[in-house]
A and B are shown apart, each in its own frame.
Chain A
Amino acid sequence: MTIAPKAPRKLSMKQRYQALTRDLDWEPSYVSREEMFPYLEFEGIKIHDWSKWEDPFRLTVDAYCKYQAEKDKRLYAVLDGFAQGQGHLSLTDANYLNAMKIFLQGIAPNEYNAHRNFAYLARHLGGPGPRFAALCQSIDEMRHTQTEVHTLSNYNKYYSGFHNFSQQHDRVWYLSVPKSFFEDALSAGPFEFLIAIGFSFEYLLTNLLFVPFMSGASFNGDLPTMTFGFSAQSDESRHMTLGLEAIKFLLEQDEANVPIVQAWIDKWFWRGYRVTGLVAQMLDYMLPRKVMSWKEAFELYFEQQMMQGLFQDLAFYGITPPRHVEDAIGEKDVLSHQVYWILYQFSHAASFTTSVPNDEHLEWLSKTYPDTFDTYYKPLWDKEKRNIEAGGRHFVRGLPQLCQVCQIPMGFTEPGDPTTICQRESEYNGEKFQTCSNGCQWIFEREPEKYVQAWLPVHQIYQGNCGGPTLPDVLEWYGLQDGDNGEYVGSVDERNWKKWHAETDVNEPEGSDATTNTTA
């Protein structure tokens, strides 16, 4: 009697993951390990045993593709339905989309940058586990870029400000803030990038950077963006886990890593926090239907979750809360007002529109910020209302002083004194460099060789590198079209919105006032 050979047993998910990562790894034989991984030592980080990396999630390529395909299918079904049903008409207001313009111009291109650098980590980290985790995140980030662009492309058919986000990311002044932030990380070593983006951006600040946009979408009738948010959420939770595992791994490998990691946390907390200024003004000024104030978001997502949660855990490794965190906490009552005041005055050179908050909005701001709004900011809006009645609308007739590090116009005030602008000055190689805060000055003085290379939009305009000497020259070089910029009241978007909503049959908006774009 012969016994038929048993069919080969199917590997479990865990075994398949083992085969995919560890079993495919090898030790080099004809080059040295240092030649194979040349970027692992110059930052001073010591890794003794890469096998101690605990994979925060175990995913195989086929499982990954299956999940993502299902999520994409759901997302694209929503996008189709929204487009076919003229869903854009059920937004709270056309000016809500200013928040999404900033998201598309400022964030989506940085998702692509994240894709690039995680692909680099997937090649250059020294262990198979972290390499595969970085590979998955790299693919996620690419997918986020694509889905964000596709999600918002429908609006590009009807609204201004969406048509040229990629070029604008590279050129326009306020977008140099997120761009230079991310390029600072891209030009760092692999471990600093892990702490800068994997930990500080994806873990420490992610709920302040990402969640407000998605909540804003859900409160303002933007079903596609909300669905994109859900679609990205499971990826984001993997990214957060990776960021946390990365920092713990570095801290556990060698005690000498602790001060290096601490300095990176100090730096990247402040770098990321400054970028959240754009989110702060979006929450408090750009959403027709409010989700929560910046102050509330900061208290919940940062002070409670991170200061009272995460940093209590990290204290075990000798990690302390970020340097300058007290300055950030002290700014929560003033930050959004200062950033919006800047954007309001310079929106003639931006790819979004701004407006004076209406009475109901001003009342909300007074109630939400009882200690600061009526004293410091409402008088400015009252004066601007009188200004508008007299036929003016405040756009700055010139260019502002920029912070050498965060690149935001220097409109932030001294800690504890909302009436005096904070000016810090450092000298390097006989040249003066100004920064907007203690945090940015500390970052500059730690690595001045890096920040002297900053491509500051104002200085570049004065050097003649931005299309020409006049404002129209620069705006053309920015790729702005009529309707993209300036005041919302009376803008192309507002006129169209009113016309579409005045029509009895609003099924098919047609005959918009300006040329619409079909390039996305």
Chain B
Amino acid sequence: MAVKAITTYDFPSRSRQELYGDDQLVHVWFKDNPWFCAAACFRAPKAMTWGDFWSQLVIPFAEEDPDFDPAAARAWSLHGDAIAPRDDQTLEELGVVHKDVLATVLA
């Protein structure tokens, strides 16, 4: 059902992709690690490679866990399907869109 309002009720999303230019928001969810109380939210260029995304954004965040091992083998999923990102693939090539959730567990 729709909002009941006194007049036309139509407002843009306050977090639509265009507000971030060539970037987008990407969530990373360490599903098996309760040390991180919630998934992380990053702002990343769509053309950023997976290698850069991992080393420049995710590792500095995840290192806050003293047990975090950046070299550990990991399984990833996107939209419920398993993915195997290569370092040279961009987020866009991986099919990551604005506000997607990338989930990971130790393999």
Assembly CA distance A94 to B16 (angstroms): 43
Which residues on A sit within 8 Å (CB–CB) of B31? 420-421
Given A429-B13, A452-B12, A462-B20, 8 more pairs with CB closer than 8 A? A380-B35, A386-B66, A397-B60, A398-B42, A401-B29, A447-B1, A449-B11, A462-B41
Assembly CA distance A381 to B99 (angstroms): 31
B14 A452 Cβ-Cβ under 8 A = yes
Across chains A and B, which 6 residue pairs bring their CB atoms closest together, nearest first?
Answer: A409-B38, A452-B13, A400-B38, A401-B39, A398-B61, A459-B15
A399 B20 Cβ-Cβ under 8 A = no
Nearest CB of chain B from residue A503's CB, rounded to whole Å: 39
Which residues on A sit within 8 Å (CB–CB) of B41? 398-402, 458-459, 462
**Knowing A431-B17, A459-B14 touch, does A410 contact B34 (C-beta < 8 A)?**
no
**Knowing A419-B34, A434-B99, A449-B11 touch, does A44 contact B4 (C-beta < 8 A)?**
yes
Residue on B nearest A346 in the bound complex, by CB = B37
What's the interface size class on A, roughly? 35 or more
Nearest CB of chain A from residue B38's CB, rounded to whole Å: 4
Nearest CB of chain B from residue A449's CB, rounded to whole Å: 5
Residue on B nearest A436 in the bound complex, by CB = B38
A376 B37 Cβ-Cβ under 8 A = no
Residues on B lying within 8 angstroms of A by beta carbon are 1-6, 9-17, 19-20, 25, 27, 29, 31, 34-43, 60-61, 63-64, 66-67, 97-101
Assembly CA distance A390 to B67 (angstroms): 13
B64 A396 Cβ-Cβ under 8 A = yes
Which residues on B sit within 8 Å (CB–CB) of A85? none
Interchain CB contact (< 8 A) of B10 among A44, A447, A449, A458: A449
Query: Which of A47-55, A219-227, A301-309, A337-345 lies at the binding interface?
Result: A337-345
Nearest CB of chain B from residue A223's CB, rounded to whole Å: 35
A-B contact pairs, 7 of them (CB 8 A): A394-B35, A397-B63, A400-B41, A449-B3, A458-B41, A462-B20, A462-B25
Interchain CB contact (< 8 A) of B64 among A342, A380, A394, A402: A394
A401 B38 Cβ-Cβ under 8 A = yes
Nearest CB of chain B from residue A65's CB, rounded to whole Å: 35
Which residues on B sit within 8 Å (CB–CB) of A411? 37-38
Assembly CA distance A246 to B53 (angstroms): 54
Residue on A nearest B101 in the bound complex, by CB = A423
Which residues on A sit within 8 Å (CB–CB) of B9? 449-450
Which residues on A sit within 8 Å (CB–CB) of B25? 459, 462
Interchain CB contact (< 8 A) of B3 among A386, A423, A450, A458: A450
Which residues on B sit within 8 Å (CB–CB) of A380? 34-35
Which residues on B sit within 8 Å (CB–CB) of A450? 3, 9
Assembly CA distance A404 to B67 (angstroms): 31
B4 A189 Cβ-Cβ under 8 A = yes
Residue on B nearest A469 in the bound complex, by CB = B43
Nearest CB of chain A from residue B15's CB, rounded to whole Å: 4
Residue on B nearest A387 in the bound complex, by CB = B66
A400 B3 Cβ-Cβ under 8 A = no
Assembly CA distance A454 to B13 (angstroms): 8
Residue on A nearest B7 in the bound complex, by CB = A42
Nearest CB of chain B from residue A126's CB, rounded to whole Å: 16
B2 A447 Cβ-Cβ under 8 A = yes
Nearest CB of chain B from residue A486's CB, rounded to whole Å: 15
Assembly CA distance A338 to B38 (angstroms): 10
Which residues on B sit within 8 Å (CB–CB) of A398? 40-42, 60-61
**A43 touches B (CB below 8 Å):** yes
Assembly CA distance A392 to B67 (angstroms): 13
**Knowing A380-B35, A401-B27 touch, does A453 contact B19 (C-beta < 8 A)?**
no
**A230 touches B (CB below 8 Å):** no
Nearest CB of chain A from residue B14's CB, rounded to whole Å: 5
Mask: chain A, 98-118; 1 = CB below 8 Å from B; 0 = not: 000000000000000000000
Which residues on A sit within 8 Å (CB–CB) of B34? 376, 380, 419
Interchain CB contact (< 8 A) of B40 among A399, A432, A446, A456: A399
Residue on A nearest B61 in the bound complex, by CB = A398
Which residues on A sit within 8 Å (CB–CB) of B98? 431-432
Residue on B nearest A338 in the bound complex, by CB = B37
Assembly CA distance A446 to B3 (angstroms): 8
Which residues on B sit within 8 Å (CB–CB) of A397? 60-61, 63-64
A39 B16 Cβ-Cβ under 8 A = no
Residue on B nearest A341 in the bound complex, by CB = B37
Which residues on A sit within 8 Å (CB–CB) of B37? 338, 341-342, 345, 396, 400, 409, 411
Which residues on A sit within 8 Å (CB–CB) of B101? 401, 423, 425, 434
A42 B4 Cβ-Cβ under 8 A = yes
Which residues on A sit within 8 Å (CB–CB) of B97? 432
**Knowing A345-B37, A449-B9 touch, does A423 contact B29 (C-beta < 8 A)?**
yes
Nearest CB of chain A from residue B81's CB, rounded to whole Å: 14
Interchain CB contact (< 8 A) of A400 among B15, B17, B39, B100: B39
Which residues on A sit within 8 Å (CB–CB) of B100? 432
Nearest CB of chain A from residue B40's CB, rounded to whole Å: 5
Which residues on A sit within 8 Å (CB–CB) of B36? 396
Nearest CB of chain A from residue B36's CB, rounded to whole Å: 7
Which residues of A393-427 are within 8 A (CB) of B? 394-402, 409-411, 419-421, 423, 425
Which residues on A sit within 8 Å (CB–CB) of B60? 397-398
Residue on A nearest B64 in the bound complex, by CB = A397
B4 A43 Cβ-Cβ under 8 A = yes
Assembly CA distance A44 to B4 (angstroms): 8
B38 A433 Cβ-Cβ under 8 A = no
Which residues on B sit within 8 Å (CB–CB) of A338? 37
Assembly CA distance A202 to B66 (angstroms): 45
